[in-house]
Amino acid sequence: MMQDPLRAICDDNLERRWIWVTLIMTFVMIAILGAYAVASNLHPPSNVETIDSSRLHLSEEFAEDNLGVKKNADGSLTVTMVAARYGFFPPVIEVPTDTPVTFRVASADVLHGFHVPFTNAATMVVPGYVSEVHTSFPAAGKYSFLCNEYCGLGHDSMWSRLIVVPKSAAGDES
Ligand SMILES: [Cu+2]
């Protein structure tokens, strides 16, 4: 029988058994995380772009009038949003199915999360940075944006609505 490799660092049988249990648990958890990330097409956000949070309302892109859905020349969409205690602005976003969407989100105050359950859209919204998420929505329906970073007493009610409409019904909104 093979010699236990842990014998080199530990003489006690029971202790070695528990070391094995924790090692195996750790690798099982890493394997689950890895499999889940691959299966759900999760990847870490890669955009690093800074912005002055205190002057967000005076900035070009994140000024109140410029928030919302914009159509790009190639047919894709860019959605500009502000996360602030306690909501996402604008509070309702409508996009068509099967269309590349880039969300650009900035925080006006503290750390927030940006998560659309049942999709791969999730990122942190760190004050001072612009968070970017690229995704598309294959299924029409009503989704929610949720804040998943505790941001204060109103955190529980920090959510807003994403409506995904069938592409054919979306018409020529600009
Ligand atoms: Cu929040």
Neighbouring CB atoms inside 10 A of 79's CB total 19
**pTM score of the predicted model:** 0.74
Give the residue carrying structure tokens 């329906």: 141
Highest mean pLDDT among 17-26, 106-115, 164-173: 17-26
> 150 C-alpha to center of ligand 1: Å?
6
Q: Judge whether 113 and 149 are in contact, CB under 8 Å.
A: yes
| Helix H or strand E encompassing 133 | strand 130-135
| Helix H or strand E encompassing 41 | none
Q: Judge whether 85 and 110 are in contact, CB under 8 Å.
A: yes
pLDDT band with cut points at 50, 70 and 90 for residue 100: very high
Q: Is the pLDDT of residue 165 over 50?
A: yes
Calculate mean pLDDT across residues 79-106: 92
> 91 C-alpha to center of ligand 1: Å?
14
Q: Select 53-169's CATH number: 2.60.40.420, 2.30.30.790, 3.50.50.60, 3.40.50.620.
A: 2.60.40.420
Instruction: Please state, in angstroms and rounded to a whole number, the distance separating the CA atoms of residues 15 and 27.
Output: 19
> 170 C-alpha to center of ligand 1: Å?
30
Residue of 104, 91, 97, 96 whose CA lies nearest to 133? 104
- One-letter amino acid identity for 122? A
> 111 C-alpha to center of ligand 1: Å?
7
